[in-house]
Amino acid sequence: MDTYAVFGNPIAHSRSPLVHQYFAQQFDDVIQYQAILAEKESVKQIFDDFFVIGKGANVTLPFKEFAYEYADILSDYAQQAGAVNTLIKQSDGSILGDNTDGVGLVRDIANLGFDLTNKSVLLLGAGGAARGVLPALLSKQPLKIVVANRTAEKAAKLAEVSPLVDGTSLTNIPHQPYDIVINSTSASIDKRILDIDTTLLKDATLIYDMFYSADGTFFNEWCQQFSSAKTFDGLGMLVEQAAASFYLWRGKRPDSKRVINLLREKIQSESKNTIS
């Protein structure tokens, strides 16, 4: 039986084991996929021990930068992102590091019926999540991407990847129409209102929060006060990035939309049971 895992801290909340079991069932594959709690002090040993038999792994916070250093070979996306969320054991025993976060995001946006080509994009946040998706966003040839962050210096550093990207502070976002607004900050987790001019949201047709929730995210609900844009959370991105990992490991492309629906139903059911 092929063995896979997701590493992170915390990790007990991870939906990845369920998602990958859904994928495997589509092909009548039998796999083992487990969530493994890693500690910073021992993470290299944990990775080493796993890959004695493990075929591949996902990596989530806070170890994506460590996985970048751990990999023997890096894909173009991983190099551009400076972070790895997928590790693949090669036939010679070496470890390939890839990053499927951006692929997951752009595929979900396409699934939702939106096109990034020639669109103006406002990307909120300049941390690891933003860095991980920026190369894939650029691959869709947007008109412009403005990265806005609490500290302008971090956004400006991220903007160095392409002339199509500008970096600025949240309080100094250029006043121009934005077709698509993407939140990569922890605003929904922290229930924190971002310090941005809300008139910047009025022209958007899509507002996308990379965080996901059973009942709508804090960021999206806040945006709905100032924009008539359609709002979506990041559940589809979660499944699509996992599907890209599954394909890298097993050469099979699962039906992601079916799994998104199954997972959404499960999360909503759990939420109702919790409330009752």
Q: What is the pLDDT of residues 212-245, one digit of tens each?
A: 888 889 999 999 999 999 999 999 999 999 999 9
- For residue 271, what pLDDT is reported? 75
pLDDT above 90: residue 200: yes
Contact, 135 vs 162, CB < 8 A?
no
Contact, 249 vs 29, CB < 8 A?
no
Phi, psi at 184, each rounded to 5°: -110, 5
Same domain, 173 and 205: yes
pLDDT above 70: residue 275: no
Work out the angle between the directed axes of helices 16-26 and 256-275 (0-180°, nearest 10): 140
pLDDT above 80: residue 197: yes
Same domain, 129 and 215: yes
Same domain, 16 and 76: yes
Same domain, 162 and 179: yes
Give 115 or 61, the one with higher predicted confidence. Answer: 115
DSSP H stretches of helix in the chain: 16-26, 43-50, 64-70, 76-81, 101-111, 128-139, 152-158, 187-190, 218-223, 235-250, 256-275
Total count of domains within the chain? 2
Same domain, 153 and 252: no
Same domain, 94 and 198: no
Phi, psi at 192, each rounded to 5°: -120, 130
Contact, 248 vs 98, CB < 8 A?
yes
Q: Known catalytic residue: 64? A: yes
**Mean pLDDT, residues 22-34:** 97
197-234-19 Cα angle (round to 5): 170
Q: How far is residue 60's CA from residue 262's CA, in Å, rounded to a whole number? A: 22
Q: Which of 8-12, 80-84, 116-120, 261-265 has the highest mean pLDDT?
A: 116-120
CATH number of the domain where residue 29 is located: 3.40.50.10860
Give the residue carrying structure tokens 């022209």. 203
Catalytic residue among 40, 44, 55, 64: 64
Place 276 in a pLDDT band, splitting at 50, 70 and 90.
Answer: very low
Same domain, 51 and 136: no
pLDDT above 90: residue 182: yes
pLDDT above 90: residue 49: yes
Cβ burial of 251 (10 Å; 0-12, 13-18, 19+) is: exposed
Place 273 in a pLDDT band, splitting at 50, 70 and 90.
Answer: low
- What lies within 8 Å, CB to CB, of 214 at 6+ separation is 267, 268, 270, 271
Contact, 65 vs 40, CB < 8 A?
no
How do residues 156-169 score in pLDDT, each as one tens digit? 999 999 999 999 99
List, in sequence order, every residue forming a beta bridge with 36; answer none if it has no partner: 7
Same domain, 167 and 203: yes
Same domain, 227 and 119: yes
Same domain, 141 and 218: yes
Domain coverage including residue 157: 102-233
